Structure 1
Amino acid sequence: MRTRLAVAASQLRRTWDPGRLGFATTAELPELEGLVGQEQAVRALGFGLSLRSPGYNIYVAGPAGTGKTSYTSSLVRARAAGEPPAQDWVYVHNFDRPDEPLAIALPPGTGTSLVKAMEEIISDAQRIAARAIAGPEHQGRRDELLRAAQQQTEQAMLELEQLASAHDFGLTHTDHGIVPVPLRNGQPMTGEEFDSLSAEERREITARAKEIQRAVAEASRRAWEVEKAVRAELQRLDREVTGGALSPMIEGLKARFPGIPALAAWLNRMAVELIDPAIPSRGAADADADAGLPLRRRRPADPFARFRVNLLVANDPAGGAPVVIEPNPTYVNLFGKAEYVAEDDEPGNRHLQIKAGAVHRANGGYLILQAADVLASPTAWDALKRALSMREARIEAPGAENRLLPVALLRPQPIPLNLKVILIGSAQLYHALYAVDESFRKQFKFRAEFEVAMEANEQNVAGYAGFIARVCRRERLRDMTAAGVAQVLSHSHRLSEDQTKLSARFNEVVEVIYEADAWAALEGSPVVDAQHVHQAIQAKAERSSLPERHLLEQIRRGTLLIDVSGRVVGQVNGLTVMQRGDYRFGSPRRITARVFIGQKGVLHIEREVALSGQIHDKGLLTLTGYLGDRFGQDKPLAFSASITFEQSYMPIDGDSASVAELIALLSALADVPVDQSIAVTGSVNQRGEIQPIGGVNEKIEGFFRVCAELGLTGRQGVVIPRQNLHNLMLTDDVVAAVEQGRFHVWAIDTIEEGIELLTGLPAGERGADGRYTAGSLFDRVDSRIRRLARQYAYWRGGSGAGGGD
């Protein structure tokens, strides 16, 4: 049986013949264009990018390190380069509702021109207005108005003086206005003279003074009305001449940006609003009038701020559609912000406080995000789905509705959204979102999935070599020989845990290339050869193997009890895999079983203390089904048994120990010892068929290192499922030991084969009478179960269990 089930050393590892690769060094190879081994994902992604219908945003799924992010970015950029460029977007002041700035779309590349043109108009407005106002024709009209007003004022004053003179009064100008003064002999009357008059004379003078004061008030009112009318007419003339002077400039600006109705409407309104601040004298008067007033009532520091243009997004007219990769997709980074508006802030400045986000910059093109990063900000994730659903980008303050006190906030006009979002993440995250998020299903209808491994065919091998050549050239590394490439290919098989597939985790392959180049540099080699790749792989493993070395030390000292020789009843060496960061290693664990009278069935100690996972518990229950099928057809399984992983204090899961557990239990029932020089891994079903498991390489290597530490005897080895043969990519030392007959690997299909390997007894076959082959292990198990059943029935005072020995 040991010979028949033995796995030849040639089956333990796939190697590549450098001579069959067709080159001497990677210097002879062209660089790989695109990806290798991801044809389906590449086709899917290309087709997904061609879909422009709403909701067909893309989720790119796949394991980390497969190149999905870099390839997606390069493919999107290549596609975007041939697509029409996106529009520019600007925000301008809303003259009617300052808190709601207006968004205007412009042809690509014109936003900067508009900003510059508006700055030129603002810069020239006062100079042009001042020149127009200072013109002789306008000054003549102003002088004519002022002369007419002066004449009216002088006439009113003459009439007032005549009235006063007729009543023996004169008029005096004081700080409080015009005051009538009584006259005596043509001279103003003094106070003493007025007091010397009789009461009747004083009353008569006072009455005449009041009549004159009424005339003064009426004259002052008429003068104020004349002044007001003249001032209004002067302002009208200033506005008229300023508007006329600015009009050619505004019309020229409109002519430079034709066919944009929203911009034309705003420029028309701007042309009207620009007149007042452009008039120089008005600005000076206001500056004087505002002196000493509170800050909030002063004129703005920049009276032309409301005419300035806020360039939100500028696109290159020759650059194709925009592609934006946002590495930190918070709400603000995605959707921009409208900065806080203080109570005393000037309304004309507010549109200048709007800042663009990645969504705005990518509008009209593509936005690439890492799914896990955007999900880390629920506000950003919800806003992104809402924007895609509504097809518009709003700039809002996050959490504004939760503020305790009201805050003045801008509400910029939303921008229409024409955007394809590409999320990159794991397949597990995709399925989780698809299951719980209806909006995600509606907005991300297309998925492109990258494989973790590829077929090791001629095309992919050539592509792998081209990939290595590309890394060497772009990173300025030494060229790699064909033998070095062959070693990398073997390591790739190890990473994929499959002799028929190469790993698509290129980041791990690149690490080996970098480190192999460093080893070549230390040796002064002009090229990277096979030994340098081997050194890089070994050195990386050694740097991370401290936990494994500690474990081997515990076994050598006898702290962790493991037997690799001898025979023991109810005891089997099972195998586990431990993960420490990026390093995995296998370790044997003693599995023991004990059988005694009772009817509790198989009790697993780890399960009882909640140290086992659901999959492991399922494997244990499967053993009960197997025992019932083999031994419970003609009698009850009236016995109790306990199974445990000795010296195991950490949670365990998986069903890869079920073969070892079953053999330990059968050994305890049959009272037949198990060969301790053999370790076992594998899963078993209720029919006794062996099923594949994971981590087979680490498990074999882990037991080999323990045997090497305690002394190889030539009888030691590991039993694995036959379905795992294609997963074997063992290290050189294990392969060499198998070649020399110092270590062995056996592959089994059924539990019966494993039983004979570990106990030396045939499992046995059931005869027509329901009994197993005499002397076989199953015969011993069957007889023990019958005895235990009778003993239990006797102990309970019953009449025995069915059937005799």
Structure 2
Amino acid sequence: MRWVRQAPDTHKKLPPLLWAQEHVQEALRLTATLHRPGLPQHLQIVSPSGWEWASAIAEHLATQAGNCTDVVLLQRPHQRVLRGEGAPGELHRCDESIVVVEVARLLDDDDAWPALREAMTLGSVSQLPGDQQDSPDQVVRIDSARLSAVLVGPESDFRRLREQDGALTTLVPSRVIIRTEVSRDSAGVGTLVGLLRTAAETAGVGAVSAPALAWLIEEEAGRTTRRGHISIQIAESIQCLREARVLQTRGTLNEGSVREAMAHMRARRATAEENHRVRVEFGQLLLHAKGKKQGVVNGLMVYGSGPASYCIPGRITARVSVGREGLVNIEREAKYSGRSFDKGVFLLNGFLRGLFAQESPLGLGATLAFEQSYGKVDGDSATLAEAVALISELSGLPCRQDIGVTGAINQRGELLPVGSINLKVLGWWKTCQQLGRTGTQGVLLPRATVPALQIPRELQAAMERGEFHLWAADTIEDALELLLETPAGLAGAHDGRFEDHSVYAKVARRLGTMSQRLYPKRREPAKRKGAPAKTAVAETATTGTKSPVSTKRSPPKPKGPTKKSAAKKKTTARKKKGGSKTLADAPTDRAAATPSSESSQ
């Protein structure tokens, strides 16, 4: 309140949108100073969406350039307007000037950017043929189109323009980003007070009291992602002031009117959240805020975007079985998941393999699902809840249902920060109020997310009374010990085994049993009677050393008759009958079988 009362009326020479934008002011000053005919100075300004930033930038550039250089705001950057049709166009009239154009307007016409690019690079532009021109194919060039361009727009528009022209960064190397937050100090509060007062005057609201401004600034501080900062995107606050003037037609706007107007605005856009809350109240959305359940964790999911976003918890469940499928993401199989969500499941799979699959493969088939979720799911902030649900199912230990869980993990089991933490904490608090408060309820979040917390006063009072709690964790082991109420049991430094009766020991035992069922050990063939032992060791009595003994087995004798024995029996039988020679009785020596030359003569 003191900073609001002491806020000076400064920045009179600047448009309100450029207050506290020192980098943008410097970039515009350099553009106006370095601009020369034939030596252009182009600039990219990345701005938030929803504001007329181009007009404010053109207004400030005109004061920086002075009377020597004209500043032109291109309202309709279409090809016919820029090039001209049968006559010089807008780019010809902008010779030796600085033009300011919104990127979104350039993207409305596919031929607008090529025309502007031609003037930016060549200092000239070709003119479109007119109706009265003798030769329609004749190209008329206008040489006087030497200009500097300032492109303004959100990052998404610049991304689309880069897809259309890959040389955009080379053509316009200078770039500056407009800030959306200011520090929560006397200077930052003074800037925001000036913005609100100027906007109120422009909108015809009139004077606004200091308590009303202080309350609006506190509301803006709750929308930032960092503690100690205030958002300067005040479109909602300006609309609130306009509606407050309808409620209070006379005098200076007071805090009560502003609060009432904001409550009406939020009630009008809260229809989707109310429908979700009704389902929780009547038990149509299956949730529990007390007790314990195995393989079930309460995740915190954010719906919508912008000021209308809200958080409704949802159950994340896991089931396991013997199999080779690994982790099956049901959301992905149903084509409901985004890339960030899928990446989180892959990281969880890497964490499990690194921890439990060093000596044997994971004989695991597990499924993970968001229950009663029928729309697009994205982001990795549910990875911690999925990991806890899976480990709870594997270990057989039930998980606490009075704690909402949010957080991302990496392959080492370290917790990573997540977004929208204020919405998630407030959403779980409202759910606990619906389902009944127990005094043990709260939210588990990564410690790296703590600086982004902006707790409402009502919730702060509940925490001071011990009705609600916040727990910060650094690793997944911290989360498991809180949610499963059992020591996690990290692996020993020497033997690599987990501590007895710990969470990880139970998981390793279960995974080992499942792996043995899926990949059983091969049994050796049964030993026949009388066969020598497969291995034997001879030990000398003098030295006590062991020397291996050959264990090679001789081939077994055949049981039935062989070919040789059968032939021998036939020969013997024939000799007894007639003594005739057979092929078996013929001599095998060649010298004995062939008569000599002497005997033949």
TM-score, normalized by length of structure 1?
0.60
Higher mean C-alpha displacement, 670-679 vs 763-772:
763-772
Show the counterpart of 2:451: 726
Residues 61 and 551 (structure 1 numbering): CA distance in 2 closer, same or farther, change over 3 Å? Answer: same
Task: Read off the aligned partner of 2:73 and give its amino acid letter.
Answer: I
Show the counterpart of 1:41: 24
From 108, 113, 127, the counterpart of 1:395: 127
CA drift at 1:21: 4.0
CA drift at 1:596: 1.0
**1:6-35 deviations in whole A, cap 9, x for unaligned?**
xxxxxxxxxxxx135444xx7x74565423
Residues 374 and 699 (structure 1 numbering): CA distance in 2 closer, same or farther, change over 3 Å? Answer: same
Higher mean C-alpha displacement, 470-479 vs 653-662:
470-479
- SS of the equivalent of 2:304 reads strand
Contact 2:83–2:91, Cα closer than 8 Å, also in 1: yes
Structure-1 separation of matches of 2:196 and 2:105: 30
Show the counterpart of 2:190: 462
CA drift at 1:713: 2.2
Structure-1 separation of matches of 2:211 and 2:13: 23
Structure-2 separation of matches of 1:538 and 1:73: 37
Task: Read off the aligned partner of 1:600 and give its amino acid letter.
Answer: E
**1:235-266 deviations in whole A, cap 9, x for unaligned?**
xxxxxxxxxxxxxxxxxxxxxxxxxxxxxxxx
CA drift at 1:58: 1.9
1:411-430 paired onto structure 2 within 5 Å:
414-430=142-158
- SS of the equivalent of 2:366 reads strand
Please say if 1:83 is aligned against 2:83. Answer: no
From 164, 175, 180, the counterpart of 1:447: 175
Please say if 1:482 is aligned against 2:210. Answer: yes
Task: Read off the aligned partner of 1:454 and give its amino acid letter.
Answer: V
Contact 2:79–2:111, Cα closer than 8 Å, also in 1: yes
Show the counterpart of 2:504: 778
Show the counterpart of 1:193: none
Please say if 1:381 is aligned against 2:113. Answer: yes
**1:477-528 deviations in whole A, cap 9, x for unaligned?**
343333222222222222223222221324344334433444443xx5x333
Residues 51 and 508 (structure 1 numbering): CA distance in 2 closer, same or farther, change over 3 Å? Answer: farther
From 83, 91, 96, the counterpart of 1:364: 96
CA drift at 1:666: 0.4
Please say if 1:330 is aligned against 2:78. Answer: yes
Task: Read off the aligned partner of 1:51 and give its amino acid letter.
Answer: L
Contact 2:326–2:365, Cα closer than 8 Å, also in 1: yes
Task: Read off the aligned partner of 1:373 and give its amino acid letter.
Answer: R
Please say if 1:60 is aligned against 2:45. Answer: yes
CA drift at 1:365: 1.8
Contact 1:716–1:743, Cα closer than 8 Å, also in 2: yes
Residues 407 and 586 (structure 1 numbering): CA distance in 2 closer, same or farther, change over 3 Å? Answer: farther
Higher mean C-alpha displacement, 446-455 vs 366-375:
446-455
CA drift at 1:413: 6.2
Please say if 1:74 is aligned against 2:53. Answer: no
CA drift at 1:582: 4.6
From 786, 792, 797, the counterpart of 2:518: 792
| Alignment gaps of 5+ in structure 2 | 525-601
- SS of the equivalent of 1:416 reads coil
Show the counterpart of 1:168: none
Residues 378 and 66 (structure 1 numbering): CA distance in 2 closer, same or farther, change over 3 Å? Answer: closer
The answer to which structure has the higher helix fraction is: 1
Higher mean C-alpha displacement, 458-467 vs 365-374:
458-467
Residues 44 and 408 (structure 1 numbering): CA distance in 2 closer, same or farther, change over 3 Å? Answer: closer
Task: Read off the aligned partner of 2:223 and give its amino acid letter.
Answer: L
1:287-686 paired onto structure 2 within 5 Å:
321-338=69-86, 354=87, 357-397=89-129, 414-434=142-162, 437-521=165-249, 524=250, 526-579=251-304, 582-686=307-411
**1:288-312 deviations in whole A, cap 9, x for unaligned?**
xxxxxxxxxxxxxxxxxxxxxxxxx
Task: Read off the aligned partner of 1:336 and give its amino acid letter.
Answer: G
Higher mean C-alpha displacement, 638-647 vs 575-584:
575-584
CA drift at 1:366: 2.4
**1:523-564 deviations in whole A, cap 9, x for unaligned?**
x5x333444443333332221110111111122222221222
CA drift at 1:372: 1.5
Contact 1:67–1:505, Cα closer than 8 Å, also in 2: no
CA drift at 1:415: 4.4
Residues 480 and 740 (structure 1 numbering): CA distance in 2 closer, same or farther, change over 3 Å? Answer: farther
CA drift at 1:680: 0.5
**1:418-472 deviations in whole A, cap 9, x for unaligned?**
2222221122433554466245345423222212223323322222222223233
Structure-1 separation of matches of 2:35 and 2:411: 52
Residues 641 and 52 (structure 1 numbering): CA distance in 2 closer, same or farther, change over 3 Å? Answer: same
Q: CA RMSD in A?
A: 2.8
Contact 2:124–2:141, Cα closer than 8 Å, also in 1: no
Residues 694 and 77 (structure 1 numbering): CA distance in 2 closer, same or farther, change over 3 Å? Answer: same
Structure-2 separation of matches of 1:530 and 1:389: 54
Structure of higher CA gyration radius = 1
Structure-2 separation of matches of 1:447 and 1:73: 16
- SS of the equivalent of 2:221 reads helix
Show the counterpart of 2:428: 703
Task: Read off the aligned partner of 1:771 and give its amino acid letter.
Answer: R
From 444, 450, 468, the counterpart of 1:743: 468
CA drift at 1:644: 0.8
Contact 1:45–1:448, Cα closer than 8 Å, also in 2: no
- SS of the equivalent of 1:337 reads coil
CA drift at 1:586: 0.9
- SS of the equivalent of 1:378 reads coil
Residues 373 and 604 (structure 1 numbering): CA distance in 2 closer, same or farther, change over 3 Å? Answer: same
Residues 456 and 648 (structure 1 numbering): CA distance in 2 closer, same or farther, change over 3 Å? Answer: same
Structure-2 separation of matches of 1:413 and 1:610: 53
Structure-2 separation of matches of 1:397 and 1:762: 80
Structure-1 separation of matches of 2:422 and 2:235: 21
Residues 776 and 706 (structure 1 numbering): CA distance in 2 closer, same or farther, change over 3 Å? Answer: same
Structure-2 separation of matches of 1:652 and 1:49: 47
CA drift at 1:588: 1.0
Task: Read off the aligned partner of 2:67 and give its amino acid letter.
Answer: E
Task: Read off the aligned partner of 1:791 and give its amino acid letter.
Answer: R
CA drift at 1:412: 5.8
Contact 1:55–1:443, Cα closer than 8 Å, also in 2: no
CA drift at 1:779: 1.9
Contact 2:288–2:435, Cα closer than 8 Å, also in 1: no
Higher mean C-alpha displacement, 738-747 vs 374-383:
738-747
Residues 723 and 536 (structure 1 numbering): CA distance in 2 closer, same or farther, change over 3 Å? Answer: farther
Higher mean C-alpha displacement, 488-497 vs 472-481:
472-481
Contact 1:370–1:425, Cα closer than 8 Å, also in 2: yes
Percent sequence identity over aligned pairs? 29
Structure-2 separation of matches of 1:676 and 1:616: 23
Task: Read off the aligned partner of 1:559 and give its amino acid letter.
Answer: Q
Residues 377 and 665 (structure 1 numbering): CA distance in 2 closer, same or farther, change over 3 Å? Answer: same
Contact 1:572–1:680, Cα closer than 8 Å, also in 2: yes
Residues 611 and 798 (structure 1 numbering): CA distance in 2 closer, same or farther, change over 3 Å? Answer: farther
TM-score, normalized by length of structure 2?
0.79
Structure-2 separation of matches of 1:550 and 1:591: 21
**1:578-598 deviations in whole A, cap 9, x for unaligned?**
115751111111110011112
